[in-house]
Amino acid sequence: MLDTRNSIFTSFRTAALAGDFLITAEVAPPKGGNPEHMLQMAATLKGRVHAVNITDGSRAVLRMCSLVASAILLQNGIEPICQVACRDRNRIGLQADLMGAHALGIHNILALTGDPVKAGDHPDAKGVFDCEAVRLLQLIHKLNCGVDCNDKPLTDGALDLFVGAAIDPQCKSLSGLQSRFERKLQAGAQFFQSQLITDFDLLEKFMDKIAVGCNKPILAGIFLLKSAKNAQFINRCVPGVNIPDHIIDRLAQAKDPLEEGMKIAAEQVQIARQLCQGVHMMAVKREDLIAPILDMAGVAPIHQVVVSV
C-alpha cells in the first residue's frame, strides 16, 4: 500500500504545466462500502491516463463520498482528481473537506456546482448550494493563499490544490459560455474538463473564439456510446446533450454496437487531439474499455511521476 504521507503524485499537474496532451478518465465511487469494483476499473487505467476523476454525487445519485474514494485510489497507486460539488455542503464543510484532501495527498480538485437534487434518487433531500462553482474556485484560491473564505489565516498551513472547472462548449448561448468561462478563469481555474462532446465544430469554435490565449488545458469530454438505445437514452435524459442521428444510425446498423461505439470514441479522440490539449474519457460501467479505445486512437501509454516529500 502506498504511503501517501511521504509522497505525492504529480503526473497530471506536471503534464498540464508542460503542455503535454492530457488524458483523464472518470470512475464512479461505489454505492456501498466495498470499493473493489471501483478499484478494478481504475486499475485498468494505470499507465494510460494522467489521473482518474472520482465523481461527487453525479446526477444527485447517492454514492460513496468522492474524498474517501479518491483517498482509496491514491493508496492503491492511482492519481485522483477529486470532484467537489457545492450541492450537499456549506462553505464550512467544503473548506473542511478540502483541507482533508490536501492532508491526504489529494491535490487535484474539480470544482462543480452540482446537479439539482430532484434529478437524483433522493428528490426530497434538501440542497445546500451555499456556493456555486465560481465561488468555490475563489474559495480554493484563498485556501491556497493561506486564508479561509473570511480571510482569516490558516494557522496550520496553506493548501496546495490544483483546481479545475467544467465547461460546456456546446452551450447554445456563446456570450453566456464566454462569460462563465472567463469568470472561472479569473477565479483561479487551472484546467477545464468539458461535458460530453458530440459537435466538434462547436468545440473548435469555442477554442478559436473563447479559449484562445487562455494558456490553460482544455480537455474534451469523450463518451463511450454502447448502443443506439444508449445514445437515445442520453439524448432523452441528459440536459444539453444532442447525439446526432448519423451516430445513432451508425450504432443501430452495426453488427457489434459496442465495438462500433469504441470506434466512434477513438475517432473523436483523434479529432480532439487536433483541437485542444486533452481528452476526458467517460465509459460508464465499462471503464475497462478506455485503454483499448486509446489504443485504437493511437494514443501511447503515459508514465506516472511520483515525488517524495
Q: Give the model confidence (pLDDT) of 203-230 as tens digits.
A: 999 999 999 999 999 999 999 999 999 9
The pLDDT of residue 8 is above 60: no
pLDDT of res. 11: 85
- Calculate the average pLDDT of the chain: 93
Dihedral pair phi/psi, residue 22, rounded to 5°: -95, 145
Q: How confident is the model at residue 169 (pLDDT cuts 50, 70, 90)?
A: very high
Q: How confident is the model at residue 10 (pLDDT cuts 50, 70, 90)?
A: low
Q: How confident is the model at residue 306 (pLDDT cuts 50, 70, 90)?
A: low
Find the helix or strand (DSSP H, E) in which 27 lies.
strand 22-27
Report, as an integer, the average pLDDT of 33-43: 97
pLDDT of res. 307: 47
pLDDT of res. 236: 87
User: Residue 120 carries which side chain, given as an amino acid letter?
Assistant: G
- The 3-class SS string of 71-128 reads HHHHHCCCCEEEEEECCCCCHHHHHHHHHHHHHHCCCEEEEECCCCHHHCCCCCCCCC
The pLDDT of residue 3 is above 60: no
pLDDT of res. 240: 73
What number of other Cβ atoms are within 10 A of residue 111's Cβ?
29
The pLDDT of residue 6 is above 80: no
The pLDDT of residue 7 is above 50: no
The pLDDT of residue 200 is above 80: yes
Q: Give Cβ neighbours of residue 103 (< 8 Å, ≥ 6 apart).
A: none
